Amino acid sequence: MHQRLGTSPGDETYDKLASYADLGVGEVIVVPPAGRAVVLFLLRGGRHVLVQADPEGRVRSAALGTPFATVADPRLAIGWEGGSAEI
């Protein structure tokens, strides 16, 4: 059972992690609407494990080469080579 961070009633996001693991999906990024706290899971040993954010609250997607973080309001901060955005 995975921790259900900021899910809404009927939200099946975390229930689908096992299916994604069975398909070999290497990363799953979840941004729950409540609080918009970025949650990143990596496939390890056939199951997805939660990645701890760094001291600045960022998680980095190896597949995308991009850091994600939640910033004030709350907004989602996304970075890439040569730029960034907050949405």
Kindly report the CA angle at 49 between 81 and 10, in degrees rounded to 5?
Answer: 95
Q: What is the mean pLDDT of the chain?
A: 85
85: DSSP letter: E
Q: Where are the domains of the chain?
A: 14-86
* pTM of the predicted structure, to 2 decimals: 0.78
Confidence of residue 11 (pLDDT cuts 50, 70, 90): confident
Q: What is the pLDDT of residue 8?
A: 60
| Predicted local confidence at residue 7, as pLDDT | 53
CA–CA separation, 4 vs 24, rounded Å? Answer: 21
Q: What percent of the chain has pLDDT over 90?
A: 49
Residue 74 is predicted with a pLDDT of 80
Dist CA 4 CA 16 (whole Å): 12
**Cα–Cα distance between 7 and 24 in angstroms, integer?**
24
Give first-to-last CA distance, the chain, whole Å.
Answer: 30
